Chain A
């Protein structure tokens, strides 16, 4: 019973904390983000297992996490509100080569981030070559180039 509670509480806590820290927090996988994720994983593991390193405990914890995940995915599929609350919405941050500053500030993105995504994914050189840039629900930036 204890293992189910531990796993459920940790799942909900992680879900909430990553949701409120914003899409971009660990959206870009820099080396440091990767190290940070490993540290968070290590701290989570200790809280999940406690002092019980038995096979039974591991099986209960994994089953709980997977089942909650399936349940939440099912819930998101059925409810648009839940889907929006848990995964957010995409946001256009460049419209016809014009960076939308207010929106960018709100989601903590600067022009450099957009130009970096444009270079990386489309080989673009300048802002005016971008028709739309969209901050996706995953935290990635999608670039749609202007038609030539």
Chain B
């Protein structure tokens, strides 16, 4: 219990050893809180310096996404598809179903011409007539599960990007 002190005329019980330990714990906790805020500023909990990642290459397929997100907080997948993937004015993009089952899809920009569902993925077909420029596609999503997400996005059969995200409560 530590050393206890009772002052003669004052009916009070103090524990100075406990006070000292408490003070030490508080100082350690303040350092912990400062480190926590630093990690938040760096993007460890989403929307910070290191939270955004980019995959792929501009001459094929690129994906910009958040490594860390938060439950029910909107986020986006920014995709750019190189013009060489356009066939007859259309581009096909596929995204795995496991990923999409964990999110609520709010909107897609531009809107796809049609969507086809297979066992493992959803295939989106977009209009793309300008063969000089890549096609930017944005999926606006809201995470509806906490934990790790694993996504596979691709165009055609050979170009595929795998990405992972972590969603905080």
Interfacial residues, chain A to chain B (CB-CB below 8 A): 20-22, 50-51, 81, 84, 88-92, 95, 103, 106-107, 132, 134, 144
Contact = CB atoms under 8 A, between A and B. Distances in A.
Contact of A20 (B13, B14, B29): B29
B7 A88 contact: no
A132 B72 contact: no
Given A20-B33, A132-B7, A134-B10, 12 more contacts: A20-B29, A81-B1, A84-B15, A88-B19, A88-B22, A90-B14, A91-B19, A92-B7, A106-B20, A106-B23, A132-B10, A134-B12
Contacts of A81: 1
Contacts of A134: 10, 12
B26 A89 contact: no
Nearest to A106: B23
Contact of B18 (A50, A51, A89): A89
Interface of B: 1, 7, 10, 12-15, 18-20, 22-23, 25-26, 29-30, 33, 72
B45 to A, nearest CB: 14
A21 B22 contact: no
A20 B25 contact: yes
A144 B10 contact: yes
Contacts of A88: 19, 22
29 contacts: A20-B25, A21-B26, A21-B30, A22-B26, A51-B72, A84-B15, A88-B22, A89-B13, A89-B14, A89-B15, A89-B18, A89-B19, A90-B12, A90-B13, A90-B14, A91-B14, A92-B7, A92-B10, A92-B14, A95-B7, A106-B19, A106-B20, A107-B19, A107-B23, A132-B7, A132-B10, A134-B10, A134-B12, A144-B10
